[in-house]
């Protein structure tokens, strides 16, 4: 289930806020300029669906958010627990970074943990099936897909290289919980 926890950046052991309520999550994130929505497929998406079938199932929402935010393209990323590159893929965005365009992801299936560092607070968001998250450009964050990653997500792009991570060199991500889906 989707979950938001908010911490003081200096106190990773004591969440100030903890909710699994979609409306409450959206409200707290909206206050820092982060979009959180829950979408419904227009038609069922079968396991093993092609990229085109996944995109077709969410076309109305994809078109809406692309028009609102200026996205030019989308793709579908799918990572399974037996992916031979899972450790390498997981490690890629585990440290604090930002991008020069919005990072917008819609979880068609599975889950992942986005953690944002904004003005002395840390916002830890567990995204699951049907969740859309929109992290504005320049917002520092990290992403953990967990040790046995399992998700299918639609990614939105303005520029072909817009998703490149600019790392801050901070070790803050190592002080906060890593993603262990089974324990949550």
In the complex, residue closest to Fe ion by CB: 103
Q: Which is nearer to Fe ion, 95 or 109 (CB)?
A: 95
| Shortest distance, position 50 Cβ to Fe ion, whole Å | 26
Residues between 78 and 107 with contacts to Fe ion, criterion CB under 5 A: 103
Please check if 166 is assigned to a binding site: no
Distances 68 to 28, 127, 139 between C-alpha atoms, Å: 21, 22, 19
Burial class (CB in 10 A: 0-12, 13-18, 19+), 175: middle
Residues between 12 and 71 with contacts to Fe ion, criterion CB under 5 A: none
Query: Is the separation of the CB atoms in 110 and 146 below 8 Å?
Result: no
Q: Which is nearer to Fe ion, 5 or 100 (CB)?
A: 100
Please check if 141 is assigned to a binding site: yes
Please check if 87 is assigned to a binding site: no
| Shortest distance, position 95 Cβ to Fe ion, whole Å | 10
Residues between 103 and 122 with contacts to Fe ion, criterion CB under 5 A: 103
Positions in the binding site for Fe ion (CB under 5 A) = 103
């Amino acid at each position: 289930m989707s979950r938001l926890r908010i911490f003081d950046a200096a106190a990773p052991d004591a969440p100030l806020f903890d909710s699994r309520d979609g409306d409450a999550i959206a409200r707290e994130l909206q206050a820092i300029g982060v979009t959180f929505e829950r979408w419904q497929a227009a038609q069922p998406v079968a396991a093993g669906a092609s990229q085109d079938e996944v995109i077709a199932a969410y076309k109305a929402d994809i078109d809406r958010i692309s028009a609102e935010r200026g996205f030019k393209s989308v793709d579908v990323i799918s990572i399974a627990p037996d992916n031979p590159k899972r450790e390498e893929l997981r490690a890629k965005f585990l440290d604090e970074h930002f991008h020069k365009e919005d990072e917008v992801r819609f979880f068609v299936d599975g889950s992942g943990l986005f953690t944002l560092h904004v003005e002395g607070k840390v916002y830890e968001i567990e995204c699951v099936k049907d969740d859309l998250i929109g992290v504005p450009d320049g917002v520092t964050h990290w992403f953990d897909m967990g040790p046995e990653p399992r998700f299918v997500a639609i990614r939105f792009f303005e520029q072909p290289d817009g998703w490149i991570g600019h790392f801050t060199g901070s070790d803050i991500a190592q002080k906060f919980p890593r993603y262990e889906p089974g324990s949550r």
